[in-house]
Amino acid sequence: MTIAGHPVARSSTGLTAAGIVGGTEAPDIDSRVFAMGPGMAIRYDRPADEIAGSITGYHLYAAHGPQVMGQKDWFLPGTANVRITLGAGPVSVRIGNRHFDPIPQVSLFGPTSRVLEAVTHGGVMIGFGINALGWSRLFRRSAQDFHNRIVPFDAIAGEALSRRLVHELSAAPDEHAVKPILDAILSPLLGPEPDDAALIRHLMALVVDREMAGLTQLAEATGVPGSKLRRVAHRNFGMTPKLLLRRTRFLRSFLAMFQTGDATDYALVEDAYFDASHFLRDANTFLGTTPRRFMARETHFLNASVRARGAVLGTPTQALHVVEANRSRPA
C-alpha cells in the first residue's frame, strides 16, 4: 500500500488506527477529555510505579481516513521521547530550521526548546517520555547531543530493542495492552542511578517550581557551583539551566492562554516577565511566532493532548511534569 507515493508499513495485527477509541487505563478519568474529531483518537497512561520517576508517561495517537492525510500538527517543547509508528504513512517533523523527513519507525526525539511541526498520513504513533533521571539511567550519551534532534532509536539503544518495541506493540491485541507491554519492556531496562541522582532529582523539581526566579536562586537552592549545574543539566536535561527555566516560565504562561483560548490576555502571563514584549521574545524563541498566530492554527492533537495529559498525568505538557522528588539539599 502507498500514500502519496510513499510505502506504508502495515501493522501485523488488529492494533490499527481505525480500531482505536482512545482513553486511559487510569481510573476515574472523565472520558470526555479524550474527545477528538472524526478519524482521530488519543490515549495517555501512567507508567508502573517503579519506573514513574524516570518515565513521564505513555501516549498513543491514532488517525485514519482521507481527512487526516497530510495533516499538520504542532507540539510544544518538552523532554526526550521515544516514538514508534505502526501502520503509518510517512511522518515528517520540523524543529526550528531542522527537518526530519521521514522520521524512522522507532525514533528518539531529543529534549526540545522549539515547537515541533509534524506532517502525518494516518496510522498509530506510540511513545513514552523520558525525564532527566530516566536519561541518566538509560543512555551513556549526553542529552545535549540530541537537543532539538530526532535520530533512529537503534543508534543509541541498539537494533534489538527497536525490533522488540515494534514486534510487541504490533502484536498487541488492543489498545489496552499498550501500557502493560511498555511497563514490561522498560522496567528492566533502567540502570542504576548515577552518583548525581540526588542533584538531578532536585533540579527536576526546582526547574518547575513557581518560586524559582532565576539562576542565582537555583544555585543557592542546590548549593553546588554553577559549572557543575551546567554539566549536569547538559548531560541529563539536554540544555543549560537558564534555558530550562526560561522554557518552564514561558510554557506555564502560554498554556494559561492556550487553555482559555485568549492570546491577548496578558494578565495570564507570570510576574517573572517584565512586560508583554519580554514574553513575546520568549514566544518567538520557543514557538517561532506569536501566541496569537500559533493559537490560530488547527492543533487537533495538541488540544487533545493538553486536556488528556493534564487529566491523566497531572500536567498538560511534558516540560512541566512533576515527579515526587527529594527536594532536600543534595550532598
Residue 213 confidence (pLDDT) = 79
pLDDT at 14: 62
The CATH H-level superfamily of 31-187 is: Jelly Rolls (2.60.120.10)
Output the CA angle 103-150-188, nearest 5 degrees. Answer: 100
Return d(Cα 18, Cα 122) in angstroms, integer. Answer: 10
- Regarding the domain delimited by 196-320, which CATH topology (the fold level of the hierarchy) does it fall under? Arc Repressor Mutant, subunit A (1.10.10)
Spatial distance between the Cα atoms of 9 and 90, rounded to a whole number of angstroms: 9
Q: Which of 204, 187, 175 is nearest to 44 (CA)?
A: 175
Dihedral sign for Cα atoms in the order 110, 111, 117, 119: positive
pLDDT, residue 325, reads 44
Name the segment(s) of the chain with CATH classification 2.60.120.10: 31-187
Write down the pLDDT at residue 244. Answer: 97
pLDDT in tens, the chain (331 residues): 322 333 334 444 568 999 999 999 999 999 999 999 999 999 999 999 999 999 999 999 999 999 999 999 999 999 999 999 999 999 999 999 999 999 999 999 999 999 999 999 999 999 999 999 999 999 999 999 999 999 999 999 999 999 999 999 999 999 999 999 999 999 999 999 999 999 999 999 999 999 897 899 999 999 999 999 999 999 999 999 999 999 999 999 999 999 999 999 999 999 889 899 999 999 999 999 999 999 999 999 999 999 999 999 999 999 999 986 433 333 3
**How far lies 314's CA from each of 75, 129, 232, 308, 318, in Å?**
18, 14, 26, 9, 10
Helix boundaries (H) for the chain: 132-138, 154-157, 159-170, 178-186, 197-206, 215-222, 226-236, 241-260, 276-286, 291-295, 300-313
Find all residues with CB under 8 Å of 28, minimum gap 6, and list them: none
93: part of which helix (H) or strand (E)? strand 92-95
CATH 1.10.10.60 residue spans of the chain = 196-320
